[in-house]
Amino acid sequence: MRALMLLSLLALAGCMDYGGDRPGRPGPAPGQWATLTGSVTYRERIALPSNARLLVEIRDVSIADARAPVIASTTSQTRGRQVPLPFALRYNVSRLDPRHRYAVSARITDGNRLLWTTDTSYALRPGQGSMMLNLVSVQANQPGRPQRPERPRPPRRP
């Protein structure tokens, strides 16, 4: 089981966006990178679609009522795997201002349709190595299930 989780984490490492360093600028020294690992899960026993996508982000949430800039993110296809889904998010420590607050969030989508998301703020503490993210359904009627569009009904005959 441990070998499978390690293999999954290594596979996810290839799907990472390392925080958007600009071309032409030297990257950070090796000691300035950190990796946050963990897993994403939800309580309901509902299967994910085979083509679902997991997105995990670190955002700067210091400024109230403003869009929180993304510090780092990673996206991976679930390829039929079910929760808990492991993740490994590598980020540049030098982009973190010690006076700011940072939060980790996750979303699971099916195409452009959001299925699951975090509804709680998961604070990223300096030096934190792992965390568990719990998601909630965004569907109103059936948690985690896509809603079917309502079919137009034929007019009634008198």
Least confident of 81-85, 105-109, 140-144: 140-144
Contact call for residues 36 and 91 (beta carbons, < 8 A): yes
Residues 117, 53: Cα–Cα separation, whole Å: 12
Summarised one tens digit per residue, pLDDT across range 86-116 is: 999 999 999 999 999 999 999 999 999 999 9
Q: Looking at residues 27-39, what average pLDDT do you find? A: 79
- pLDDT of 25 higher than 80: no
The percent of residues in the chain predicted with pLDDT above 70, rounded, is 68
Which contiguous run of DSSP H or E holds residue 77? strand 70-77
Q: What is the pLDDT of residue 126?
A: 79
Residues 117, 46: Cα–Cα separation, whole Å: 14
Residue 137 pLDDT class (50, 70, 90 cuts):
confident
Structure tokens given for 9 = 């984490």
- pLDDT of 120 higher than 80: yes
* 88, β-bridge pairs: 37
Q: Looking at residues 4-24, what average pLDDT do you find? A: 44
Contact call for residues 106 and 89 (beta carbons, < 8 A): no
The b-or-e profile of 81-116 (16+ CB within 10 A means b, else e) is eebebbbbbbbbeebbeeeeebbbbbbbbbeeeebb
Least confident of 6-10, 33-37, 136-140: 6-10
Q: What is the pLDDT of residue 75?
A: 97
pTM beyond 0.75: the answer is no
